[in-house]
Amino acid sequence: MANVFGNILKLSLFGESHSDAIGIVIDGLPAGLPVDMDAVQTEMERRAPGRNAFSTPRKEGDAPHIVSGLFNGKTTGTPLCAIIQNTNTRSKDYTPQLLRPSHADFTALCRYHGFSDYRGGGHFSGRLTAPLVFAGAILKSYLASQGIEIFAHIKSLKNHQDVAFDSVNPDKETYRKLKNEMLAVLNKEIATKMAETIESAKMVQDSVGGVIEALITGLPAGLGSPFFESVESRLAAMLFSVPAVKGVEFGSGFGITELLGSQANDPFCLKDGTVKTKTNHNGGINGGITNGMPLCFSVAVKPTPSISKPQETVNTETQKEETMEIHGRHDPCIVPRAVCVIEAAAAIVTADLLLEAKTYAEPASKRN
């Protein structure tokens, strides 16, 4: 029930858009993990607003400050807490009585009986993904030390489709470069069209969404468990934590339902003496457990709900229907900034799975 996630790693997320700070406590980290604050900052900036034409001009200065759990540049193994100050909160007039459509204003009102902090969306603010990105940055370096990498790109933006990742023979060198792109898209022509689409939406005070595809390479076979602790269950639980995500699919996902079994099944083969699959419709997961192929999934990110266009709503004070306009700085599309959030979410779950796998790594006796 609480904002605590993970089996071995435990993450506690806190903060509101206009509270003093936001932050995260990460417990269960391996001791002795080097923390490269430059690498962390690079990830933070991938998420930060004001980075390009498609995002809000506000400069948040998302510089995480590590309060505990770090000693001589390495993790201590005890809880690591990082804080990000909320320095740039405008003191403006809020009208919490006007429920912003598709935002959490109404549900927060019901859930917290009117006591939640409504300023800037409060605890529901997309800004809370910054601590997730921080955690992801720490854990990506852990995963890298184990030979595991995470890639993501914009698979589609509105109706523009990028080429899909190759989840059988991933071109890691190319995918790695995506992290430096304004728009993480493989097909540069499509990228231009996507940029135009975002710009057009902005012009008409509207917004657009898209699909982000991610790939995790270097995973050993045998992570995860059947049923409630399936890799899909755990990744999906984290991915659906990210605001605006409305769909998650693995491998061919919804598309697999249009295939015949003979097409959807991934034939096994031997590659350098190791069991692999020839295709990867199952996204690297069978029976809830990784099979050693790249893990592949996609998430649907809805159009930014904050739009300046007039919208119909209810005024909870007057108890009357009303029309509202949402002013202020808002991304016409959060998909570009969400790419590294999705990577972070994947890194968190993957690291948790990897640590947990140590508990079932050695058989209690030899196989007969």
Residue that the structure tokens 């809370």 belong to: 128
33/44 with CB nearer its own copies:
33
Residues 6 or more apart from 363 whose CB is under 8 A from it?
A: none
44/104 with CB nearer its own copies:
104
Does 39 interact with its own copies (rule: CB under 8 A)?
Answer: no
169/319 with CB nearer its own copies:
319
In order, the DSSP letters of 296-342 are: EEEEEEPPPS--SS-EEEEETTTTEEEEE---S---S--HHHHHHHH
Interface pick for its own copies out of 43, 60, 149, 356 (rule CB under 8 A)? 356
* CB of 319 vs its own copies, minimal distance in Å: 7
Instruction: Give which of 39, 24, 28 is closest to 73, Cα–Cα.
Output: 39
* CB of 14 vs its own copies, minimal distance in Å: 4
Question: Which residues, listed in sequence order, are joined to residue 315 by a DSSP beta bridge?
Answer: 98, 320
Interface pick for its own copies out of 167, 207, 217, 350 (rule CB under 8 A)? 207
Exposure string (b/e) for 39-78, b if CB count within 10 Å is 16 or more?
A: ebbebbebbbbebeebbbeeebebbbebeebbeeeebeee
2/189 with CB nearer its own copies:
2
Residues 115-174 that bind its own copies (CB under 8 A): 115-117, 122-124, 128, 142, 145, 156-159
Residues 215-274 that bind its own copies (CB under 8 A): 220-230, 232-234, 236-241, 243, 245-254, 256-270, 273
Residues 278-297 that bind its own copies (CB under 8 A): 278, 281-283, 285-292
Report the alpha-carbon distance of residue 348 to residue 11 in Å, rounded: 9
Q: What is each CA distance from 63 to 14, 17, 22, 45, 60, in whole angstroms?
A: 16, 15, 11, 9, 9
* CB of 173 vs its own copies, minimal distance in Å: 26
Does 365 interact with its own copies (rule: CB under 8 A)?
Answer: yes
Interface pick for its own copies out of 52, 59, 90, 112 (rule CB under 8 A)? 112
48/236 with CB nearer its own copies:
236
217/225 with CB nearer its own copies:
225
Report the alpha-carbon distance of residue 5 to residue 49 in Å, rounded: 26
156/217 with CB nearer its own copies:
156
Report the alpha-carbon distance of residue 231 to residue 169 in Å, rounded: 21
Interface pick for its own copies out of 40, 44, 63, 99 (rule CB under 8 A)? 99
Does 58 interact with its own copies (rule: CB under 8 A)?
Answer: no
Does 11 interact with its own copies (rule: CB under 8 A)?
Answer: yes
Instruction: Give which of 304, 245, 249 is closest to 100, Cα–Cα.
Output: 304
